[in-house]
Amino acid sequence: MMRETLTIDHLGAQGDGVAHTAAGSVFVPFALPGETVEAAVHKGRAQKMVLRTASPHRVDPACRHFGACGGCSVQHLDDASYRDWKRDKVARALAARGVEADVAPLMACPEGARRRVTFTARRLGPDILLGFNVPQSHHIVVVEECPVSAPAITEALGDLRRLATTVAATPKAFHMAVTATGAGLDIAVDGAGQLGAKQRRTAIDLTLSAGFARLTVNGEVVVEGRKPEVNFGGVAVAIPPAGFLQATMDAETAMAKLVREHLDGARYCVDLFAGSGTFALRLAQAGRVHAVEGDAAALAALDQAARRTPSLKPVTVEKRDLFHRPMTAKELNAFDALVFDPPRAGAELQCCQIAKSTVRRVAAVSCNPGTLARDLAILVDGGYRIERVVPIDQFLWSPHVEAVALLRKPAPGRN
């Protein structure tokens, strides 16, 4: 491959620098706008990049593993430029769908706040590799630090490696999801193979001696020394193994505050894609809530938490696959406020029904600006007005960005 001199025009959606050439766009990992680099180019992607002219916005990365570990893509960008880039990801996605909205400045994410991390592990002879995959590769970078992750996780790396060594019953790579909870680390291993009796006993002993709260392997709870709980606005919730949880408490608190303030005064709310109750349990402090979720374990955790908290207003739950059977406009008309927080695929069919409904206030939460923009366009076409869109950074130094959109439908006869 011949080496080329490239000038970086802008940052792409995944954090790569983008250079325009006669052959088309070239994506240059870890390069910044305005920089000149020399690199070999293969199928539109730069390899073995050498920096020739650096951007004034380039800074020293916070982690020694940056550039090898696949967890972060933009640690080398100064804070102001980073925040603008993430905010613009949301603004550009809305503009591409023709959605006009006031996009607020990015709500920042502090270092050391990520409370759930998924490691990749693989046995290599008597040793274990535990870390993150190199971008676009199966190669594992063994990590000794992670400034993104909660200290409770990084301080336990030694014990986590020993546990991974114990449960590894296959030479293939497997995943270890680690969640920091008030009761200790909740660990869910998937794909490590079938545990033998001796492995099981050793894993139980190690889990308890390390002070971990729970160990789950391939969906089976092997040991639970303490019930892993999280706190949703003062309500304790015993989360299921590997259950969905907002990545950082800071982002969760910020999103919940926006949702509660927008829906303030509602007497009956519906929470769609409710998970284990991030929003539903907070909203139930002020009014009735109906929580709808397709995951039975998450819904059970929400229901049990609500039943154990007598200070809450009535909370009802419904197990329902909203992708295939969205709540109809007629069903939604029973509520005066609504929040939805779907997976990355968004809530296209559900939004078509919301658009036809008489629900006055809607809060949309999303981790994907593209599908959020599509869903908001549907709601706007149905008569809703976007009051505000707030981007929230809970995936520090990654290309991912959360957003909360607040909408209102005028009463009939009002403009």
Domains belonging to the chain, first-starting first, are 3-58 (2.40.50.140), 84-110+245-408 (3.40.50.150), 116-229 (2.40.50.1070)
Give me the mean pLDDT over the 395-411 stretch.
95
Q: Tokens for 82?
A: 């980073």
Confidence of residue 333 (pLDDT cuts 50, 70, 90): very high
CA 366 to centroid of chain Cα atoms: 9
Asked if the model's pLDDT at residue 305 lies above 80, the reply is: yes
Q: How confident is the model at residue 68 (pLDDT cuts 50, 70, 90)?
A: confident
What is the pLDDT, as a whole number, of residue 309? Answer: 97
The answer to whether 280 and 274 are in contact (CB under 8 A) is: yes
When pLDDT is cut at 50, 70 and 90, the band that residue 413 belongs to is low
Q: Provide the token pair at 108.
A: 């920042």
- 293 appears as a binding residue in the annotation: yes
Convert the pLDDT of each residue in 71-117 to its tens digit: 899 999 999 999 999 999 999 999 999 999 999 999 999 999 999 99
CA 285 to chain centre: 25
Active site residue 69: no
CA distance 215 to 159: 13
Predicted model pTM? 0.93
What is the bridge-based pairing of β-strands 315-319 and 288-293?
Answer: parallel
* Pairwise CA distance, residues 389 & 403, whole Å: 7
Instruction: Show the tokens assigned to 91.
Output: 């603004």
- Using one digit for the tens of pLDDT, what is the confidence trace for 216-241? 999 999 999 999 999 999 999 999 99
Residue 415 has pLDDT above 60, yes or no: no
Q: Does the annotation place 273 within a ligand binding site?
A: yes
d(CA 412, CA 392): 33
Q: Which residue is catalytic, options 109, 269, 351, 367?
A: 367
Mean pLDDT of the chain: 95
Distance CA 296, CA 303 (A): 10
Confidence label for 1 from pLDDT (cuts 50, 70 and 90): low
Residue 262 phi/psi, 5° resolution? -70, -35
For the chain, what percent of residues have pLDDT higher than 90?
Answer: 91
Q: Residue 414's pLDDT is what?
A: 59
* Residue 341, marked binder: yes
